[in-house]
Amino acid sequence: MKKREKGLSAWQLTMMALGTVIGGSFFLGSSVVINSAGPSIVISFILGGVLVYYILFALSEMTVTNPDSGSFRTFAAEAYGQGTGFVVGWVYWTGMVLAMSSEATAISILISKWIPDISISWLGGFIIIGVTLLNLLGASKLSKLESGLAAVKILTILAFIVIALLLITGLFPGNTAVGAGELEAEPFLPGGMKGLAGSMLLVMFAYAGFEIIGLAASEAENPQETVPRAIRYTVLCLVGFYILSVAVMLPLIPTAEINEETSPMVAALNRFGITWAGSVINLVLITAILSTMLAAMFGLGRMIRSLTDEELAPGILKDRTDVPYRGILFSGFAMLLGLGMGLLLPRVYLFLISAGGFALLFTYVIIMATHIRFRVKYGCPEGKCKLGGFPYSSLFVLIVLLIAMASMPFIRGQGTGLAAGIIMVVFYSLCYVGMILFRFLHGKVRPPKGRYGSNYQDTLTTEFSEELSGIIEKQQNAGTAYEQAEDSDGETGNQNKEG
């Protein structure tokens, strides 16, 4: 693939990341965590922001060294072997495909409130096709569309913050000052430490999607400078918007009145007679989910490209153009299949889409584990460390993420996600074993190439296949191999003897 002369800027990468992250999980899904954690939800968002900071800058260090389209998948393969890269790549792709097919259904349900007779299945399919076709336009055009949609979400959050501040200070026409409001009678930890700990898992889901920066790095302008700058912008914007919007919301409404059926912003403003906010935020919610789907499809296409480049996906999906058309079309087709499964096998579909959260946490665990191996092996890229406190910072984030994954069964609705996620990891591990055995039996096994001048040190099934092929080759070809080595190195060997 030829490198384009001018790629994505830092702000374009930032807006793409914000477009992916700020979606239904924040505008609607945050109701659950606010209700369970109460005012302490602010601490959850701060801690979540700290984790995002460390994960993103760990990803930044590796991306600056190698801005590959496979991002964390490629780095995991370098650190722990091709099998690990295969599994994390396909687990991430599958989780995102299922999650985005459910998002298409969510948009259809929202639109059906205004157009009751519309078919949800047909509308969901049309949305997936539209998102797929828009991604075929390429990174430059898509980034402009994403910037516009992300701007709508950001302006909506800013507008809510301003209105809430006016209500708190008494400057909103027709309303007296709220002041501390509901915070005066609200316990800081209504659910105790258990509620706070449980909220962390869902807060991480609200932050999820920032890894798109790594997947888009291969199409960035001067990635060594652009990616770290985009990451700083993303962290500042995300943490700032989330914390401010939640902080000004808390005086307006008791957290016990917030439920998952209504956006917390809408519920808070409705208490003060600002009923038009509901229609506006529902419209913004539709654009937010569309924006998330567009950016997610962008990343899925690049993930497929990375897998096909290393022959870890069917060769028919391989692209040689700047835009991975086949990877995008394949991902769109998979989303349509997911949508169809939701209609024909709803119980199976609900079980599978619950793995979306697991896939993201699994990806972040791999990023941090990979960063530890990366830093030990290569040190700081170009002598400049983006992530301080190593190795304690990386180990701390890794442990917290593992605890979050282990706590999934204790959060309502998340236990099935852990089970489905584990099944997914086992399934793709077996697929990799089968692929290696098939290649071995057909004489196609060969050492994978590392991008940093070394071979992968596979800790999964590649070790098994290489050992198996090595034993048989030694038995059958030991004599021939020795003679060839003797002939090719004879002169050098003689010189060494003389010396």
Confidence band of 432 (pLDDT split at 50, 70, 90): very high
Residue environment code for 18-55, b if the CB has 16+ CB neighbours within 10 A, otherwise e: bbbbbbbbbbbbbbbbbbbbbbbbbbbbebbbbbbbbb
Q: Whole-angstrom Cα distance, residue 298 to residue 322?
A: 12
Confidence band of 6 (pLDDT split at 50, 70, 90): low
Confidence band of 272 (pLDDT split at 50, 70, 90): confident
Q: Quote the percentage of the chain above a pLDDT of 70.
A: 86
Look up the pTM and report it: 0.79
Query: What confidence score (pLDDT) does residue 478 get?
Result: 39
pLDDT above 50 for 75 = yes
Helices 346-353, 82-112: crossing angle, 10 deg rounding: 120
Query: What confidence score (pLDDT) does residue 469 get?
Result: 44
Q: In sequence order, which residues have a C-beta less than 8 Å from that of residue 408 and are 6 or more positions away?
A: 201, 357, 358, 414, 415, 417, 418
Contact 146, 291 (CB under 8 A): yes
How many CB atoms within 10 Å of residue 136? 16
Query: What confidence score (pLDDT) does residue 479 get?
Result: 42
Query: What confidence score (pLDDT) does residue 382 get?
Result: 66
How many CB atoms within 10 Å of residue 481? 12
Q: What is the token pair recorded at 304?
A: 């497929």
Q: Whole-angstrom Cα distance, residue 28 to residue 258?
A: 10
Tell the burial category of 333 from Cβ atoms under 10 Å away from its Cβ (0-12, 13-18, 19+). middle
Mean pLDDT of the chain: 79
Q: Look at 111-120, 198-207, 213-222, 285-294 and tell me which has the smallest mean pLDDT.
A: 213-222
Confidence band of 69 (pLDDT split at 50, 70, 90): low
pLDDT above 90 for 495 = no
pLDDT above 70 for 418 = yes
pLDDT above 90 for 209 = no
Confidence band of 445 (pLDDT split at 50, 70, 90): low
Read off the DSSP letter of residue 220. Answer: B
Query: What confidence score (pLDDT) does residue 399 get?
Result: 92
Chain position carrying tokens 């985009």: 230
Query: What confidence score (pLDDT) does residue 444 get?
Result: 66
Ranges of each domain in the chain? 10-440, 467-499
Encode pLDDT of 285-310 as tens digits.
888 888 888 888 988 998 999 899 88
Q: Look at 41-45, 78-82, 86-90, 183-187 and tell me which has the smallest mean pLDDT.
A: 183-187
Encode pLDDT of 331-384 as tens digits.
999 999 988 888 888 777 777 777 888 898 899 999 999 999 988 888 777 666
Mean pLDDT of 18-39: 78
Give the Å distances, CA to CA, from 212 to 33, 47, 54, 127, 238.
24, 21, 15, 21, 14
Encode pLDDT of 404-413 as tens digits.
888 888 777 7
User: In degrees rounded to 5, what are phi and psi of residue 8?
Assistant: -75, 140
Query: What confidence score (pLDDT) does residue 326 get?
Result: 92
Encode pLDDT of 382-395 as tens digits.
666 777 788 888 89
Which run of H or of E encompasses 276?
Answer: helix 276-309
Closest CA to 232 of 387, 27, 74: 387
Closest CA to 133 of 141, 340, 446: 141
Partners of 8 in beta bridges = 220
Q: What is the CATH number of domain 10-440?
A: 1.20.1740.10
pLDDT above 90 for 184 = no
Give the Å distances, CA to CA, from 398 to 52, 363, 449.
12, 11, 28
Q: Look at 100-104, 203-207, 396-400, 412-416 and tell me which has the smallest mean pLDDT.
A: 412-416
Mean pLDDT of 274-286: 81
Mean pLDDT of 33-62: 85
For residue 137, give the amino acid letter.
L
CA 358 to centroid of chain Cα atoms: 11
Confidence band of 485 (pLDDT split at 50, 70, 90): very low
Contact 335, 293 (CB under 8 A): no
Encode pLDDT of 307-320 as tens digits.
998 889 888 998 88
Q: Look at 5-14, 116-125, 328-337 and tell me which has the smallest mean pLDDT.
A: 5-14
Chain position carrying tokens 């993201």: 360
Query: What confidence score (pLDDT) does residue 492 get?
Result: 42
For residue 196, give the amino acid letter.
L
Query: What confidence score (pLDDT) does residue 182 get?
Result: 77
Q: Look at 125-129, 385-389, 460-464 and tell me which has the smallest mean pLDDT.
A: 460-464
Chain position carrying tokens 């092996």: 377
Query: What confidence score (pLDDT) does residue 111 get?
Result: 85
pLDDT above 80 for 267 = yes
Contact 285, 24 (CB under 8 A): yes
